[in-house]
């Protein structure tokens, strides 16, 4: 039960909602199912195929606001990869530590593994001879990024997310 992808009437990905909520949109005529998922939902009188992707009947205008920085968004943007040793990481690191005046912004926050995070502590990279292999930047406010769709959770979503995958930094 990992949700239903909602597409705007323009076929742009908009959000992921619970299957129940998606089903209500469909039953109320506000959306149509474009990809069925696996399984069924039952009401008292009938059963419905669970929707995996639904399309809104009417276009919803979405303001192009920047992508909010959150723990999950940062981890997903960098694919849970430590910026320093490139291994698996699940903590956030402020490149310039907050105690040294670094901000909590896309240009100063990367993923670090626990080990690197602990080793770096509240020091500057120059002080320990470390380098970042890339420049941390704010992600482009694509519909995918704004909807928090950093990864394809279902194979059948891939076609609708297009090349909206975040540019995972090489290396």
> Interface with Zn ion by CB under 5 A: which residues?
82, 84-85, 113, 116
Instruction: Say if CB 96 and CB 102 are below 8 A apart.
Output: yes
> Within 10 Å of residue 159's Cβ, how many Cβ atoms?
12
- Kindly give the pairing relationship between strand 109-112 and strand 31-42: unpaired
Strand positions, DSSP E, the chain: 4-7, 13-17, 31-42, 47-56, 91-94, 109-112
Query: Measured from the CB atom, is 14 or 116 closer to Zn ion?
Result: 116
Minimum distance, C-beta of residue 112 to Zn ion, in the bound complex (Å): 6
Minimum distance, C-beta of residue 80 to Zn ion, in the bound complex (Å): 11
Structure token digits, residue 77: 């943007």
Query: Measured from the CB atom, is 95 or 149 closer to Zn ion?
Result: 95
Query: Measured from the CB atom, is 84 or 157 closer to Zn ion?
Result: 84
Query: Measured from the CB atom, is 23 or 82 closer to Zn ion?
Result: 82
For the sheet containing 13-17, what is the strand order? Answer: 13-17, 4-7, 47-56, 31-42
Minimum distance, C-beta of residue 123 to Zn ion, in the bound complex (Å): 15
**DSSP secondary structure string for all residues of 123-141:** --HHHHT---SS---PPP-
Minimum distance, C-beta of residue 92 to Zn ion, in the bound complex (Å): 12
Q: How distant is the alpha carbon of residue 43 from its chain centre?
A: 32
Query: Measured from the CB atom, is 73 or 113 closer to Zn ion?
Result: 113
């Amino acid at each position: 039960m990992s949700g239903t992808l909602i597409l705007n009437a323009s076929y742009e990905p908009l959000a992921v909602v619970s299957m129940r909520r998606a089903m209500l949109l469909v039953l109320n005529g506000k959306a149509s199912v474009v990809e069925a998922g696996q399984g069924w939902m039952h009401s008292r009188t009938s059963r419905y195929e669970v929707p995996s992707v639904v399309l809104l009947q009417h276009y919803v205008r979405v303001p192009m606001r920047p992508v909010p920085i959150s723990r999950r968004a940062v981890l997903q943007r960098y694919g849970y990869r430590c910026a320093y040793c490139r291994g698996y990481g699940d903590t956030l690191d402020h490149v310039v530590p907050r105690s040294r005046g670094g901000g909590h912004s896309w240009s100063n926050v990367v993923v670090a593994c626990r080990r690197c995070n602990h080793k770096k502590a509240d020091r500057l990279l120059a002080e320990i001879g470390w380098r970042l292999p890339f420049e941390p930047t704010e992600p482009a406010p694509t519909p995918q990024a704004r909807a928090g769709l950093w990864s394809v959770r279902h194979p059948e979503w891939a076609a609708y997310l297009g090349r909206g995958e975040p540019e995972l930094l090489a290396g």
